[in-house]
């Protein structure tokens, strides 16, 4: 199974490949960046021909400090421009390694090997790479395409159930913004890491994202912003807790429910929170915060979101199932009122 991507000036493919076959492609010239969870699951990573750089697992590693440590290790290894950086891991590894690849030697070849469901269906495809700052998520980064993306859905069987469910938030997102038939499939069957149709669902999501990215690679038209449904609220929640004890998928699940309520309050949609909540509950994803939220701070973080143009809050809102658009200049007071109401 393969999806071809024509993105910016680059052309690359997203293909299904066995994990061991991927590792065989690593040469002595290359760098593999992964995390300590992966090296524990796959001891074969320690036997690769290239240099192995291991970072701590978790969102906290998507930081400037970790970026600097990785770059230092790369230059200590005498890595040259003709080498390739392989990102083997989830979204954190892919985003960090991609940003490293975009900046080391002013850009080197880069291959994404996503090992989490979230990374497979979303973050490994589309060329967005970067790190988090204390001011917010993904605020320092670049558009930098991989040379290839290799996906082996079998590795998802090593994921803790919570992390598989975390990735399902992004899968559900694609249904609400682009693909109502996908929503029907997800409602009929609860996907697991061993589902026979999992690879088909993964590549269905990849194809949906590729279609959007090809039309608006650098987010100039606003089309690509629909991929951020739930992310304005979700990213702010992640930043508020300093990326601890709240997985990305959990945050955007809460964000999608909240943003449906905001769209309804704005009169842009007839969808209600009870229309969207059951599918998240099916995958044991949260629909509201489980601890106290400082709403004033949250609004401030949303105003600093990278989609913002300086006119109120910007959100990608679902107008009806399968249709989504970027809406800016949303009154912060309205957002605060809606959040206070649904989270009370």
Give, for all 344 residues of the chain, the pLDDT tens digit. 788 887 766 788 999 999 999 999 999 999 999 999 999 999 889 889 889 999 999 989 999 999 999 999 999 998 999 999 999 999 999 999 999 999 999 999 999 999 999 999 999 998 999 999 888 888 899 999 999 999 999 999 999 999 999 999 999 999 999 999 999 999 998 999 999 999 999 999 999 999 999 988 888 878 899 999 999 999 999 999 988 889 999 999 999 999 999 999 999 999 999 999 999 999 999 999 998 999 999 999 999 887 777 779 999 999 999 999 999 999 999 999 999 999 98
- Contact of 91 with 163, CB cutoff 8 Å: no
Q: Which candidate, 127, 126, 60, 59, places its Cα nearest to that of 90?
A: 59
Measured between alpha carbons, how far is 193 from 95 in angstroms, rounded to an integer? 23
Q: Which candidate, 62, 68, 72, 69, places its Cα nearest to that of 133?
A: 62
Classify the C-alpha dihedral 250-252-255-260 as positive or negative.
Answer: negative
Catalytic residue among 59, 170, 238, 259: 170
109 is catalytic: no
CB contact burial 201-219 (16+ within 10 A = b; e otherwise) = bbbbbbbbbbebbbebbeb
306 is catalytic: no
Which whole-number Å values give the CA distances from 340 to 11, 181, 258, 303, 333, in the listed order?
Answer: 45, 33, 10, 17, 10
Catalytic residue among 37, 51, 59, 128: 128
228 is catalytic: yes
219 is catalytic: yes
11 is catalytic: no
Hey, what CATH class is 162-342 in?
mainly alpha
pTM assigned to the model: 0.92
Domains of the chain, by residue range, sit at 2-158, 162-342
**Tell me, what's the pLDDT at 134?**
82
- Annotation: CATH topology of 2-158: Rossmann fold (3.40.50)
235 is catalytic: yes
Catalytic residue among 59, 145, 228, 307: 228
Catalytic residue among 62, 231, 259, 307: 231
Cα-to-chain-centroid distance, residue 242 = 17
277 is catalytic: no
28 is catalytic: no
**Tell me, what's the pLDDT at 284?**
96
Catalytic residue among 62, 173, 209, 307: 209
Catalytic residue among 28, 106, 196, 220: 106
**Tell me, what's the pLDDT at 8?**
64
Which contiguous run of DSSP H or E holds residue 201?
helix 198-215
């Amino acid at each position: 199974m393969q999806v071809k991507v024509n993105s910016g000036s680059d052309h690359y493919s997203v293909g299904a490949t066995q994990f061991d076959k991927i590792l065989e492609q690593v040469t002595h010239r290359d760098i593999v960046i992964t995390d300590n969870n992966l090296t524990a699951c796959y001891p074969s990573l320690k036997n690769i021909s290239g240099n192995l750089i291991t970072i701590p697992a978790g969102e906290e590693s998507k930081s400037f400090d970790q970026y600097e440590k990785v770059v230092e290790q790369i230059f200590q290894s005498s890595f040259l421009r003709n080498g390739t950086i392989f990102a083997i891991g989830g979204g954190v590894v892919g985003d960090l390694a991609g940003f490293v690849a975009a900046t080391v030697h002013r850009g080197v070849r880069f291959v994404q090997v996503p090992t989490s469901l979230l990374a497979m269906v979303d973050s490994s495809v589309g060329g967005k790479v970067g790190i988090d700052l204390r001011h917010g998520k993904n605020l320092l980064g670049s558009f930098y395409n991989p040379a290839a993306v290799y996906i082996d859905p079998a590795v998802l069987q090593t994921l803790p159930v919570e992390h598989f469910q975390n990735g399902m938030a992004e899968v559900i997102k694609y249904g609400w913004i682009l693909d109502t038939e996908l929503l029907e499939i997800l409602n009929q069957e609860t996907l697991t890491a061993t589902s026979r149709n999992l690879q088909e669902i993964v590549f269905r999501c990849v194809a949906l994202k590729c279609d959007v990215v090809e039309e608006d690679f650098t987010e100039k038209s606003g089309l690509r912003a629909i991929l951020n449904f739930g992310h304005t609220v979700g990213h702010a929640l992640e930043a508020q807790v300093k990326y601890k004890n709240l997985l990305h998928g959990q945050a955007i699940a809460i964000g999608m429910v909240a943003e449906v309520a905001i769209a309804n309050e704005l009169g842009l949609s007839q969808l209600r929170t009870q229309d969207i909540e059951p599918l998240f509950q099916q995958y044991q994803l949260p629909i509201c915060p489980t601890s106290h939220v400082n709403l004033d701070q949250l609004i401030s973080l949303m105003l600093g979101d990278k989609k913002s143009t300086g006119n109120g809050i910007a959100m990608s809102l679902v107008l009806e199932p399968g249709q989504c658009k970027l809406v800016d200049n949303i009154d912060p007071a309205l957002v605060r009122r809606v959040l206070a109401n649904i989270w009370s």
